[in-house]
Amino acid sequence: MQCLCISQSLNTPRNLGFYFRKDDVGLLEDFRKLSELSTPEGKWVMGFIYPKPDMHQWETTLASVSSDMARWTCVAKLDDYPDYLFIPLWARREE
């Protein structure tokens, strides 16, 4: 399987701040929207992050937005992905 990451190919890789910015474009808006829905089914968010961050970057970034993602848990592991791509999958912990 091959994966072409367009912005990476154009030499415009994204840093983690791009994905977790606090506006109406980043992943945090998706978490907020889904959190507002009332549903008995589980809630999931999948991201496509490239290049894959190192563990320190990942943990630091998640810690900086932890209050925005209080009941969400990332079930994907960085070690399971190649250096050029990370596909985090978050599950919503219900109350």
Domain map (residue ranges) of the chain: 6-92
Report CA Rg, the chain: 14
| pLDDT tens profile 3-51 | 444 444 455 666 777 778 777 777 888 888 887 887 777 788 888 888 8
pTM of this prediction? 0.72
Residues 18, 25 contacting (CB under 8 angstroms):
no
Asked if pLDDT for residue 61 goes beyond 60, the answer is yes
Q: In what order do the strands lie in the sheet with 44-46?
A: 44-46, 89-92, 72-74
